[in-house]
Each structure stands twice: as structure tokens, then as C-alpha cells.
A and B are shown apart, each in its own frame.
Chain A
Amino acid sequence: MTAMIDLKNVSYRYPVSDDSVLKNISFSIEKGKFTAIIGNNGSGKTTLCNTIRGFVPHFYKGDLDGEVIIDQTKITDYQLGQLGEKVGYVFQNPFIQVSGVKDNVFEEVAYGLENLGIPVEEIKIRVEEVLKLVKIEYLRDKNPFELSGGQRQRVALASIIVMDPEILVIDEPTSQLDPIGTQQIFEIIRLMKERGKTIVLVEHKMDLIAEYADDLLVMHKGELVMQGPVREVFADPEFEKYQIQYPHVTEIALQLQQSGIPLSFLPIRDEELADALNRTEVAAHD
């Protein structure tokens, strides 16, 4: 498999700061994988996202050591604009992503494509498709500044998806959304994955990560402390010491184990708990 995102011994320090926010980070993400970056606030997740999309150091300056390679090319060999087409980035705070130069949602979503010089007819088709996909057709004539937090979050995602980037970096896309809206966003991300996109997601909602993501990168105080397939990382006893939320079912399972109830495996999805409990019964009778 080809690596889409490759970091080798990456450290980064913001200008005028004494401490590194990223410390000697190395990982590789294959094309088409859905990777979640988790860790408590302040652990360096957003800075790591900014590194993948080239804002570190192109925009924020500061000292970047090590190598960041996106699709076989070093990040320093890209123009920031080229990288913008390759890596779509959805902001953590939907209140700041809205461009401020368009007065309705349809045009807001079309804005990126206009800047790429795409023919008008094609823009119309692509915007229509995305509005439908993200379920915001009803907002098309609304002013982006009059939307609720959750609505803006969908518009922000739509205006990136429409550009059809190979890599999607998404920073907490559901923080303002209700549970059903959150589920819908994850379904859209799954659809992007099915279309072969490489996805990097920052998120605190572990139940959904357990359901949708392939791999985990665990950040702690600027270091990448654990990485691997979702199930393996949650099952690793080391995970507990970083004080990060487990999927709720995993937390319950760990407490059950502590109370002396044997489990055949550590569940990470709600529907696995019965299985984990029952199979041990069968095993006990064997």
C-alpha cells in the first residue's frame, strides 16, 4: 500500500514559544484509511492537523524539524495553494470557517470551486450534489451568519467536500451537533472513505470512533504515545494512563473485569457486550 501521509521525526515549535508542541512524531497513513487522532485538549491534535495541511510551517512559521511527506512529495516542495487542493481542512470552530464574502449558503459552498476556476455549470452540479449529501438543501438561500452552530458545522463540511480533495482533515466536526446530526456526519465521512479518500479526524466521541475509524493516533503532551488499529489501542492497558475517555461500553467492560467477571474479549461497540459476556459462559461450560 502507498502512504498518503508520512511523518518522520517531526517536531514543531510555534514562533516565540520555548516548548515544542509536537515532539518527534513519526507515523504513516495509507491511502483510503480513516484515522482518528485522539487525546485530551492541549495535547497537540490541532497542531498535528495543521502540519498535515501545511499551515505549519507555511502559515504559522515557527521551527519544523523532520519530514512531512504528502502523497510522495515533501511538504516544503508544495505551494500552499497546491496543498489546499490536495488536503481539505474542516475547522474545529465552524464560526470562523465561513468566508464572510458570500451572502447565501449555496454561494458559500461554491466559493472554493470558484477560486479554483471551475466552469460555472460544473460548479452548480457539484454544489447541488453536496448540499443534498450533507442534508442542507433547505439552507441554500440562508445567510451563513444566520445559521445555528450545528447548521454552520454542516456548511463548513460541505464547502470542503465539494472541492473533492484526496485527503480530508476534519477537526471536531460534530462538537455543536445533536446525536442524530453527529451520526449523519459520520455517515458522510464513511461515504468519503468509500470513495477512496484518506481521512484524518480529531474527535472526542469515542463510541463513534470505535464504530467508524480504522486506526488511532493517541496524542499526549505533544507526543504520539500510541498508534495502531482502533481495537488494539483501546485494549492496550497503557491507554488508561492517558486519562482519555474510553468508548462507554469499554469502560463498563473494564469495570466488570475488575469485579471478577471474565470477558472473552474487550468490547468497543455497544452490541458487542452481550457477546463478550456470553461467550465466556459457553467457554466455562466446555
Chain B
Amino acid sequence: MTELHLTNVSFSYPDGTKALENLTLSVTSGERVAIVGQNGAGKTTAVKLMNGLLKPTEGSVLVGDWDTKNHTTAQVSRKVGYVFQNPDDQIFHNDVESEVRFGPKNMGFEPERVNELTDWALKLCGISEFAEENPYNLPYSVRKFVTIASVLAMDSDIIILDEPTAGQDKIGLQVLGNLLQVLEEKQKSVITITHDMEFVTDYFTRIIVMANRQLVADENAQKVFYNTEVLEKSMLKPPAVAQMAKLLDFSPGILSKQQLIEAILAQRSL
């Protein structure tokens, strides 16, 4: 069980370019959070600070009782697993299974636990059938699952997924949804960056909105997607369902397909 606390965190690159300003947020253990916002809003910078890949220029990042400033990225990554946006930045083995096995083996787990975690992660990501394949023979979307599996296999308490939905088809999105469910049952915290607002409303209640290197909102989905000010500031497009509900003059709050269908059915039966 590990909690995550960012307090007044700012980050600037050595050349002075500001990438993040004054971010404060906490993620409790077992919580599921989506981070949304435009390209360049500071989302990836924020999560790289969470696993110690970047150290704050100002403020503090606490992972459990560790201040990331006092620990190496290697140490922090045992508690916070980060799946890179670009799978090709991460993969370096010649077959899928070795790639997934590397993490838990490197953590020094018992061989039996390494096997268990590897099999579990491969299965959960729907890539068991590709265990022997070279990751680079697989499509981009499947390579992404290889990188997710190799981070899950490390069994860290906190898992960060950077744009897992990019390029995924319907089946891939279902695998992701199921994976989130399983991780929640295991009390893992999952922080997901995504541009897919339908995916957000299907699987997340807490939404963190970022724009121009700052936090704009940290609220539940209804409040975010029906808040004109937040939407404008962050240039977010609400999910298709919200747009349809608006076109049909329903009162605010509808986000899921099921809610919209029920509202239409209710109107019909009047």
C-alpha cells in the first residue's frame, strides 16, 4: 500500500523551459485516476515526476514515505511502475516473454514468483500467444501491451500508463478495461494518461485536467465534462455521449451510453 503526494511541484528543464507549475495532488492506494489535457499540457512531465524519472525543481514528491529527491529512479520504480508513451523507448529483448520476465527477475523475486507474475501479466494483457515472438514483429498496439505487461509483472503498488489507448481497436480497449478492473481488485493505484474521452467515462470517476503546465481541475467526470470553463481552458472535447445529450436537450450529467439510452427510453414512456 503506497500513497502518492505531490505538493506544490514545479519542474523546469536545465535550459529554463518550464514544463510544470505548482502541481498539488494525492493518490490514495487502490485509486484509479485519469489525466487528460492537450498535447504539451504537462501530463507526461507530471507522471515522470511521480516515478522519479524527473526530480522536482520546487516542491516535493512523496511516494509512501520516500521523498523522490532522496532516492534513485531505480529505487522509486520498484514502487511506481511507468509504462512509456512510446513502446519503442522501452522494449529491448528479442522475445516478448524475456521482455516481461526482465522486470520481476531484476527485482530479485523468487524464480517461482517471477514465473507466476510473468504468466499473469502476459495473460492479463492478452499477449500469451505472442510469448515467443520478437516484439518488433508485432503491431504497434500489441507492442504497447508488451510494455504494459512488463511493468505489471514488477508488481509495484502504483502503475502509470502513458496513453495506453493510442491506436487501440475495440478489442484492445476491452483488454485495457478488464486490466483496470483486475488491478483495482488487487488494490493497485493506476494513473492513466489518455486522449480517449469515451475510455475515460467508461472506466474512471476521478479526472485530473491539465492545461498550460498547470492543474485545471481534479474532480469527478460529471463535473469536468459539464463544466464549460474547464472545457474551454483545457480545450477538451467532451465525450460523444455528452454532446448527444446536449443536442437532445437533456439536463447535464449524462456521460455513459447506458445513461443516455435510459434517458431516451424514459422520455418515450411519458
Contact = CB atoms under 8 A, between A and B. Distances in A.
Contacts of B243: 270
Contact of B235 (A151, A175, A176, A180): A180
A99 to B, nearest CB: 17
Contact of B39 (A39, A95, A181): A181
Main secondary structure of the interface of B (DSSP, over half): helix
B221 to A, nearest CB: 15
Contact of B237 (A40, A180, A248): A180
A92 B257 contact: no
Interface residues of B, number: 40
A256 interface: yes
A14 B88 CA distance: 23
Contacts of B170: 40, 243-245
Contacts of B198: 248
Interface residues of A, number: 42
Contacts of A196: none
Interface string B211-246: 000000000000000000000000111011101100
A149 B268 contact: no
A255 interface: yes
Contact of B240 (A172, A176, A248, A277): A248
B157 interface: no
B262 to A, nearest CB: 10
Interface string A114-131: 000000000000000000
Interface in B164-218: 166-172, 195, 197-198
A256 to B, nearest CB: 6
A249 interface: yes
Given A41-B172, A151-B39, A207 B240 contact: yes
Interface in B233-270: 235-237, 239-241, 243-244, 247-248, 257, 260-261, 264-265, 268
Contacts of B169: 39-41, 204, 244-245
A159 interface: no
A180 B233 CA distance: 13
Contact of A150 (B39, B89, B237): B39
Of the listed residues A150, A182, A204, A243, the one surrounded by the most CB atoms of chain B closer than 10 A to its CB is A204
Interface stretch (B50-58, B94-102, B107-115, B136-144): B136-144
Contacts of B147: none
Interface in A100-158: 148-151
A202 to B, nearest CB: 10
Given A175-B167, A274-B248, A248 B235 contact: no
Contact of A95 (B86, B236, B260, B264): B86
A252 interface: yes
Contacts, number: 111
A153 to B, nearest CB: 9
Contacts of B163: 149, 176
Interface in A209-249: 243-245, 247-249
Contact of B139 (A42, A245, A251, A261): A42
A259 interface: yes
A95 B140 CA distance: 11
A248 B241 contact: yes
A226 B268 CA distance: 35
Given A41-B139, A248-B198, A148 B235 contact: no
B85 interface: yes
B38 A181 contact: yes
A251 B257 contact: yes
A73 B239 CA distance: 45
A183 B167 contact: no
Contacts of B236: 178-180
A40 B173 CA distance: 11
Contacts of B81: none
B37 interface: yes
Given A93-B140, A149-B39, A274 B247 contact: yes
B76 to A, nearest CB: 23
13 contacts: A41-B142, A148-B44, A149-B163, A149-B166, A151-B39, A175-B140, A176-B39, A176-B85, A179-B197, A179-B237, A180-B38, A259-B265, A270-B244
Interface of B: 37-40, 44, 85-86, 88-89, 139-142, 163, 166-172, 195, 197-198, 235-237, 239-241, 243-244, 247-248, 257, 260-261, 264-265, 268
Given A181-B39, A259-B265, 19 more contacts: A41-B139, A41-B141, A41-B172, A96-B88, A150-B39, A178-B235, A179-B197, A180-B38, A180-B236, A204-B167, A204-B169, A248-B198, A248-B257, A249-B244, A252-B261, A255-B261, A270-B247, A271-B247, A273-B248
Give the 4 A-B CB pairs with smallest separation, nearest first.
A150-B39, A179-B237, A248-B240, A175-B167
